[in-house]
Amino acid sequence: MTEAVFAGSAEGASPEEAGLRYEVDGEIATITLDRPDKRNAQTFATWSALARIGDSLPQQVRVVVIRGEGPSFSAGIDLRMFTPEGVPGQGSFASSATLGDSAFEQRIAQAQRGFLWLRRPDIVSIAAVQGHAIGAGFQLALACDLRVLADDAKLCMKEPALGLVPDLTGTKPLVDIVGLPRALEICLTARTVGAEEAARLGLAELVVAPDELAGAVRDLAAALLAVNRDAATATKRLLQGAAGRTLEEQTAAERHEQVARVKALFAGS
Ligand code: ACO
């Protein structure tokens, strides 16, 4: 199969065709994985549609919620990818294996684009996770800034058990949050992490009863929206850069951001 055929219809699919529901209500955008009968399994079309939503997010949006319809947040990549027939219009791992290395890496980069925008400083992304979040599902939750879990949530980095590596941007946040030894243990055993342990490890900001999940996310979004928008963006930028900077560099970054803030708030007063 050629790259063009592999890319296929995944590129142009609407959110609905890609199994997503997308709603914007004022400053909050909600993306719902909406294939509950298939436990919200994800395909290249899902990731393309996510990337396009990121590209065209209305300027007023400050909070992006990602949730899953039905009993599971997401059971990960569509298992048809492992079959010779693959996902109609999107190929299979067998067809991907016939691509040149750089064409295949480019294809993965396109998929990763669906996840990367969720870290943008001008938004805060929240994953609302109930039931299973497996493989690509766990990585989608990790791509978000914050995670609110129902107490029945089950997180699993299944990829190594299937002979793959996690490649949908999840390895860095996982290591950043839980540290290298725990990340290694979770990934290389492909075990399930329950909600209570997830909270202990910092993988969940909040754990609530399943019927309280939507309300807890709404309350969190409201609290995030209550602070000054530009201060929130600048603060997120500062915090995101902190791990990669020395104390001296970080304090310089704080000064730089604060000068801009104070001037925006008080210049001319
Ligand atoms: N891809 C495609 N279809 C799926 C997937 C998937 N990843 N997961 C579930 N489904 C489908 C099932 O085939 C079934 O379809 P059917 O009703 O047409 O037979 C339906 O969703 C319901 O699945 P059940 O297994 O019956 O649901 P249950 O609630 O008992 O179990 C669970 C849920 C645990 C998530 C189970 O479906 C499962 O283990 N799925 C596969 C998980 C997986 O290995 N994902 C790949 C991870 S690696 C990665 O993402 C890169």
Give me the residues paired with residue 33 across strands.
20, 68
> What are the backbone angles phi and psi of residue 41, rounded to the nearest 5°?
-60, 145
132 CA from centroid of ligand 1 (Å): 9
Residue of 33, 35, 37, 39 with the most ligand 1 atoms within 8 Å of its CB, for mutation: 39
pTM comes to 0.96
125 CA from centroid of ligand 1 (Å): 25
Reduce the DSSP state of residue 29 to 3 states and report it: strand
The tens digit of pLDDT for each residue in 173-225 reads 999 999 999 999 999 999 999 999 999 999 999 999 999 999 999 999 999 99
Would you say residue 6 has pLDDT above 70?
no
The complex scores an ipTM of 0.99
Question: Cα separation of 18 and 14, whole Å?
Answer: 6
One-letter amino acid identity for 156? C
Q: Report the pLDDT value the prediction gives residue 14, as an integer from 0 to 100.
A: 84
Question: Cα separation of 155 and 204, whole Å?
Answer: 11
Report, as an integer, the average pLDDT of 94-103. 95
Would you say residue 120 has pLDDT above 90?
yes
Alpha helices (runs of H) in 82-135, residue ranges in sequence order: 93-96, 101-116
* Residue 1 tokens, joined: 């199969």
Would you say residue 70 has pLDDT above 90?
yes
Read off the pLDDT band of 269 (50, 70, 90).
low
Q: Answer whether 154 contacts ligand 1 (Cβ < 6 A).
A: no
Q: Report the pLDDT value the prediction gives residue 10, as an integer from 0 to 100.
A: 61
Q: Answer whether 155 contacts ligand 1 (Cβ < 6 A).
A: no
